[in-house]
Structure 1
Amino acid sequence: MIKLSALHGFLGTGQDWDFLEGRLKNVSLEKEDLFSKKQHSYGETLWEFGDAFSRKAALSDSKTPVLMGYSLGGRLALHALLKKPDYWKAAIIISAHTGLKDEKLKALRKESDASFNQLLQNEPWDVFMSKWNSQEVFKNTPILHREESHFDKKLLGKGFLEWSISRQEDLKSRIESLNLPIFWITGEKDAKFSDLAKSLNFKHPDSILWIAEQSGHRVPWQIQPEFISKINQFLDVIR
């Protein structure tokens, strides 16, 4: 039996993965809820999260542990993999960034995230959500409806400020050298993330890249049947 720990993206919830329930073969799905008022703390920084999350996962049971993360959840997953690479048996990384090298780009991202956080904390929810979904990265993707009542705004602020890509190291070479199978997924209409994915040169022979046709950044929810089929194929290889 595979234990699939799933990390959602920013402004996501554990329920985002509900469509996978009962549709993955011999899989126990563990859905995190990172920004809910019921969420448990995993530390402040990206590395602290990776360490705490992996330690918690290792205490749970003896099932084959696989880690999956989308967007921000994918970046958090990368830190968990690198903190405890001997624990995880495989990973599924969706629409995630390996990290910025350019300090000027990091500074711009820091400013952008701070601006979004100010909007989140001070403006009506609908105004914030409209601005968030209008970003270029979400072009040609479905809008995922979000209720303000589900979220703790302080935790969302932490996501903007502490888990910003502006605070992330460039992890590319370390990810490539991981000795475990990685299934890296992007959408073909998400050119920036697909170009980044194409540059990855994985060490493990069972690591693969899937650039999903007719999809943008939100691959799992845009082409659900194809996504489920591909995940099952990948998990069959590591069983």
Structure 2
Amino acid sequence: MIQYSKQTDERREAGPMECWCLHGAVGMASDWRGFAKSLAAGGIGTRAVDLWRFLDCCPMSLPEFGKALNADASGEISRNRGRALLGYSMGGRMALHALLENPHPWQAAIIVGAHPGLEDEADRASRRTTDTAWASRALAGNWQEFQDAWNGQPVLGKPIAREKQASGSLIMRRREIARSFVDWSLGAQQPLWDRLGEITIPVLWVVGENDAKFRELAGRAVPLLPNGHLAIAPGSGHRVPWEADEWFAETVSGFLKLGSLR
């Protein structure tokens, strides 16, 4: 049974472990429902976080988000023995910011197709310009055309299948989604490469076999993590949790059960 927490988060209780899941750009908490069901079958609970609620009232930088998410987790009475943090794409970048806070409440992490940061300021400026255009389309453009354009990007691959009602409700968050293209843009993010060594908990870094750009980034990032592990999803592109859903659920479940949260 799905329970709602913090207004629009989705929680599924199932045993002593809990994995908090952060969706990607133009995503939603319900994107994790299939994954949550698979983990529950193996005795792992989940909490799918609605990232848009963090932008309900005002702007929030990536470092500020990391602090806010950790405060959410730390402020709850946990009946679990362990808590893991999982982030996909934009959510993976956000997870890294939470993990770089000291202290933080996480015992393990899974990072999927995330970018540790652009190292050249000119590249960051260019990305900010691109994301400002996306923000404008999200806020004031035709919503269906915006979604089609976003999902049509070759780097993303196959769109995430959503229930019609869930997909339709995303338009209610268009203001927050537009804001995220400014506050949480890769261009607004300071490069984290030199800080990855500060993350000492076990980290599983997941990429798709066919996602060449992010495989290269993962190949650089994982050796910088003191306890990092690389997992490559066979035949998958960028959206591993949905393109290789069975493999992903089994891989994450195995990682969490093999000592990370025990």
Within the candidate set 220, 226, 236, 1:204 is matched to 226
The superposition leaves residues 36-59 of structure 1 with CA deviations (integer Å, 9 ceiling, x where unpaired) of 6x9866961101110011011011
Matched, 1:135 2:150: no
Does the 8 Å CA contact 2:108/2:202 hold for their aligned counterparts?
yes
Equivalent runs, 1:7-26 vs 2, <5 Å: 7-24=22-39, 25-26=42-43
Q: CA deviation at 1:102?
A: 0.8
The superposition leaves residues 135-193 of structure 1 with CA deviations (integer Å, 9 ceiling, x where unpaired) of 23113x34445734333221111110011011111112212331110000111211111
SS at match of 2:248: helix
Does the 8 Å CA contact 2:160/2:242 hold for their aligned counterparts?
no
Partner amino acid, structure 2, of 1:218: R
The range that moved more, 129-138 or 64-73, is 129-138
Partner amino acid, structure 2, of 1:128: F
Matched, 1:79 2:94: no
Does the 8 Å CA contact 1:10/1:72 hold for their aligned counterparts?
yes
Q: Which runs of 5+ in 2 are unaligned?
A: 1-15
The superposition leaves residues 90-134 of structure 1 with CA deviations (integer Å, 9 ceiling, x where unpaired) of 100111110111111111111110111111222211111121122
Matched, 1:229 2:247: no
Equivalent runs, 1:157-236 vs 2, <5 Å: 157-200=178-221, 201-205=223-227, 207-236=228-257
TM-score, normalisation: structure 1: 0.91
Identity of aligned residues (%): 35
Does the 8 Å CA contact 1:42/1:49 hold for their aligned counterparts?
no
Partner amino acid, structure 1, of 2:235: Q
- For 1:124, the equivalent position in structure 2 comes to 142
Partner Cα separation in structure 2 for residue 75 and residue 128 of structure 1: 23
Within the candidate set 69, 78, 85, 2:87 is matched to 69
Aligned residues: 236
Partner amino acid, structure 1, of 2:169: S
- For 1:102, the equivalent position in structure 2 comes to 120
Does the 8 Å CA contact 1:7/1:68 hold for their aligned counterparts?
yes
Matched, 1:35 2:52: yes
RMSD over equivalenced CA pairs, Å: 2.0
The range that moved more, 115-124 or 48-57, is 115-124
Q: Which runs of 5+ in 1 are unaligned?
A: none
Partner amino acid, structure 2, of 1:95: G
Partner Cα separation in structure 2 for residue 176 and residue 144 of structure 1: 36
Does the 8 Å CA contact 2:135/2:178 hold for their aligned counterparts?
yes
Partner Cα separation in structure 1 for residue 19 and residue 55 of structure 2: 19
- For 1:52, the equivalent position in structure 2 comes to 68
Partner Cα separation in structure 1 for residue 20 and residue 48 of structure 2: 6
Does the 8 Å CA contact 1:94/1:184 hold for their aligned counterparts?
yes
Matched, 1:147 2:167: yes
Partner amino acid, structure 2, of 1:164: S
Does the 8 Å CA contact 2:52/2:176 hold for their aligned counterparts?
yes
Q: In the superposition, relative to structure 1, how do residues 39 and 28 fare at CA in structure 2: closer, same or farther (>3 Å)?
A: farther
TM-score, normalisation: structure 2: 0.83
SS at match of 1:138: coil
The range that moved more, 187-196 or 24-33, is 24-33
Does the 8 Å CA contact 1:44/1:162 hold for their aligned counterparts?
yes
